[in-house]
Chains A and B, each alone.
Chain A
């Protein structure tokens, strides 16, 4: 069964009066438990693809299904709920909330879905990502690798089925990149699915399956 189905998705932007097709009829299906990498040069539409797939950016054409549900037939609040339940985002820039401690950052998805024992879950994630010592620190006090691990832990708090990762290793050295990719790998082995977009060949190497992308189009 496909966790994510992207079918015929197009997205255009107008830039300085010129139309740019960031996505041009992209179709892609991600099965449960797979680690898929989308590889392509900078500007080929990878980030746009993830935002569209996560329900944050409405495509001009085509549709997105998450667990069979057409995402853009829902209203914004319903899409937010789907994100809260099923999707975790990881970005190259981490986007941790600067005034919250690492533990609070990891707990912040609780504001979209409140569940029992989220505190315990946060502590568990801190331990799993080797951040136990860092729980009370602010993001600015952490190294790049620690920050990305914290962002990954945050994405996992609500036990999503799908993680959308945009260049998660872009700011990391090789050692930390390996750790983060290892964590994503582990997530798929426990039944989760990952879509990782990157221009980095080595990062793509960690995936079960690689899709090449160029000028808004996919090519296997």
Chain B
């Protein structure tokens, strides 16, 4: 019985809506406007997010390209700003050095400590080393083997980030050629001149003889070459050209270490390492900037919608409410007849609330349709065919379809109550 009444009321409500079309269409338009705006706002934010993803991805690609090109520029700047020198024993013949790729003459290891304690200011990094070109009998290759103890700190200077790492005993670092050619995995063990080493790292290709160089601990190198306490060169890196030129540095060093000679060289590997880091940082920064920018823009949009939507929602609700009052006024005699026919109050309220529900439902569908057409059209020239998917959130649509009729019924609550409270006698008595 209840079901029959509800169905009948629904049927009557639909017939009434189609009968008083002006009121219906004005109400429908109002609801559609509100839901359309809601759909558009939610959809545009979604489109914006998808767009953001695309832009950031693009920026990241761009940043990577930028980083690559910047790296080259930094390298050029880097080589102009500083220079590197090699300190050798005075007896070393340079022809031999250049022909053999290493210095055969040695000097005491403590030279480097003397230099570090001397208060020299034109040099930033000191790297003592013992170098030999050797046959790697186990693999039948000729390689350059370098013993190093890492960077010797300059006592008077501020601690700087070391640019070369020490190699612990038992470990080995390999140039790219040695790694690639022999496929030694990092962490694997290799045999070199009868000793076991664990591969600590493989360097990327540098395009220099570094690629066929292996670095081991200085002590171990001294033992292997039977050169205890000796080194055959000190690399002084990033000499400060703002303060000195090569001649001045040379003068300063030969004052501290009289038995040495000095040659200038440039180390691509080091400058490149630094420039790479700087370029990458710059690129990351620009991606971050763009991300911040998008987040700011989105917040602005959200703020705008968070003001606009409530205003539209309230205005439309008021308008729907007003139209419902007009409808009740139009139907005074009808309400009087409902009472004369013995309808219960609940039935009369349901008649009007059901009407509001249908207006909400029809309005929501119309609004969603219109909003989606607008949103997809907008998205189409940004995203092409994928725009519908990017724009529509099924959950949101579902909530709108569900919520709008409720809201409409809520907006028509007062008019419906007014309909019930209306005096039937006044409407049915004609003068």
Contact = CB atoms under 8 A, between A and B. Distances in A.
Contacts of B425: 48, 51, 56-57
A47 B334 CA distance: 17
A108 B429 contact: no
Interface size bracket, A side: 20 to 34
A47 B340 CA distance: 13
A48 B20 CA distance: 31
Interface residues of B, number: 30
Most chain A beta-carbon contacts within 10 A, residue among B20, B336, B338, B341: B341
Contacts of B20: 99
Nearest to B18: A99
B428 A91 contact: yes
A168 to B, nearest CB: 13
Interface stretch (B7-15, B41-49, B358-366, B380-388): B7-15
Contact of B429 (A48, A111, A154): A48
Contacts, number: 92
B193 interface: no
B344 A77 contact: yes
A83 B333 contact: no
Contact of B336 (A80, A95, A100): A95
Interface in B407-431: 423-425, 428-430
A196 interface: no
B1 A97 contact: no
A78 to B, nearest CB: 10
Nearest to A97: B334
Nearest to B430: A93
A80 B342 contact: yes
B344 A80 contact: yes
Contacts of A97: 12, 334, 337
Given A51-B428, A114-B1, A114-B5, A95 B337 contact: yes
Nearest to B339: A56
B62 interface: no
A111 B354 CA distance: 15
B428 A100 contact: no
A100 B344 contact: no
B345 A111 contact: no
B340 A89 contact: yes
Interface in B311-361: 333-334, 336-345, 347
B16 interface: yes
A47 B429 contact: yes
A192 interface: no
Nearest to A47: B429
Interface of B: 1, 4-5, 8-9, 12, 15-16, 18-20, 333-334, 336-345, 347, 423-425, 428-430
Interface of A: 47-48, 51, 54, 56-57, 76-77, 80-85, 87, 89, 91-93, 95, 97-100, 104, 108-114, 154, 158
27 contacts: A47-B428, A47-B429, A48-B425, A51-B428, A51-B429, A56-B336, A56-B424, A56-B428, A57-B423, A77-B344, A80-B342, A80-B345, A83-B339, A84-B342, A84-B343, A89-B428, A95-B333, A98-B334, A99-B16, A104-B12, A108-B341, A109-B342, A110-B8, A112-B341, A112-B343, A112-B344, A114-B4
